[in-house]
Structure 1
């Protein structure tokens, strides 16, 4: 079973980008994230939604 919340490093690996770029996407509001006890986490479905937005923008 895949985790529901990903560490930033895990989200970066899935997207094929660096950790800093993931933080940039979060800061710009392009990738949703949450804080859990002070740790930044990215919902798995937020990664999917971001990829969908990229493909829609490309069309």
Structure 2
């Protein structure tokens, strides 16, 4: 697996939504525009994914 990782073939788990969509969801939720279920239907992901986006760490932070 190490050679594959070095060659960029093994990237790990990729996010379900691009960072721009994640920022939009966080902003809209913070402003009270949407509930957890609203963006889930719009982006075709589960409510748990939206919950992780809103309540999880921000991009670039560990």
TM-score bracket, normalised by the shorter chain, equals 0.3 to 0.5
Structure with the largest fraction of strand = 1
TM-score by length of 1: 0.37
Bigger-Rg structure (1/2): 2
Structure 2 length-normalised TM: 0.36
